[in-house]
Structure 1
């Protein structure tokens, strides 16, 4: 009997472990529903496994099932109160629920969100994501419910000590939100000088587009493309050219380069590049070529709303 029990327990543990491995595999390939199923099976046998509870919470988060994710992360915070990342994930799920719900519901979540992120930073002063969460929270909240640019800058200063480039990006974000464009531009440029990642170039480009400065946006993208050789930047250059009806030859060349070198990992589907080429030919009053490219976009996705609208505009040339 003892031997039978030992064999049974060993089999149960092995079975559970295989559930965990399958769940991780499903997470890797973004099959989150299947990962959820495997984790629920695993937790039937191992209900106190913190890593499994976290993985289940992550699976719910990727599916945007915020209430279920909050429940899992809350269990983790109560079980392991000294782990910063659990507090961060709990606060993050609360924040996402606040964004997707009503304003009244969001107001009721602010206190718990703030406590979670502050706890994460207190437990791990080098937690970059928690610092960013606090920056974002204090920037976007109205002053009447706790928003504060000075507090946001305080956490950006702390972030700068941990990661100089993140600190500069955070300050650029704060000053852009506070409508201080010169300071925002200064810090985004510092981030490029210090870090120079694709993200840094994207942030400065987005800033220039928001400021209606397309020439500066294109110049920034060209420098980023020269440094990183990212095909996605070809699309971004073409997009700005098409949106603002400027440097159309350059835009056409970049969009065709994007299509010639396209890979799924580039992020923007091919139909969008065809759509932008159609815009460029519309600007040139070349109705035939514009229709050719808009039809290529619609051949890939017949319900492409922007392309359908653009085709109507092209037909009126």
Structure 2
């Protein structure tokens, strides 16, 4: 399924989604990300920044169109990080990456103060897991700087979510709940004069395993909202659940979910995903190339 009418203004740049889908690379500047947390930490502040930027530039080389930089883990049960610490983790990376590259940069935050400082440092997109609901002031910041916005559907805050939520029985109205939630987010953003909006159904955020797969299967239905769709499936626990051979065994860890991620991303592309948010750029680029050759992207 192709959707070829989306062009978004991201401050001084255009994100053209009229052709092939795009890839957003995940750069976690955190010690506790569920997959790559702490992988950039060396104990030396300068070295950590250099390594983060080096990783981002490698992502660009491998085919990333956007680099999404976050300073607070949003995995279920993750503790809150104050704005000062989040800025300490992200701003130097954004500044140095912007100095070395003109790649589109997204700031993964729900805090207005962090979003504003990131935009001043060179970011062009705000990626808010709360859809502008945790900190209402972030919508004003987004509008003021003419940034594009990724608005995600979530059920509760990360600190209140538990891994057990991923195995609950699915509700039959998951599509309606996500549609209505994203519609509310969109209308709120539009009331603030924001029109460059990307929607994220929020895979893995307060949703059961069955609900996640229902969303993946019916992703194309969300295009009724008239906005491009971003999917964040990369190494999520519900993919690991599908790999579990016996109910009494542990779910395969994130390091063992790459193949499942590739499969899920391929399904998402056939169902109308416009942006893939991933840890593994080279593999996503190849997935995208095959999907495009089959006219699914």
Q: TM-score, normalised by structure 1?
A: 0.26
More helix by share: 1
More strand by share: 2
Q: TM-score, normalised by structure 2?
A: 0.27
| Structure number with bigger Rg | 1
- Between the two structures, name the one with larger relative contact order (CA 8 Å, sep ≥ 6): 2
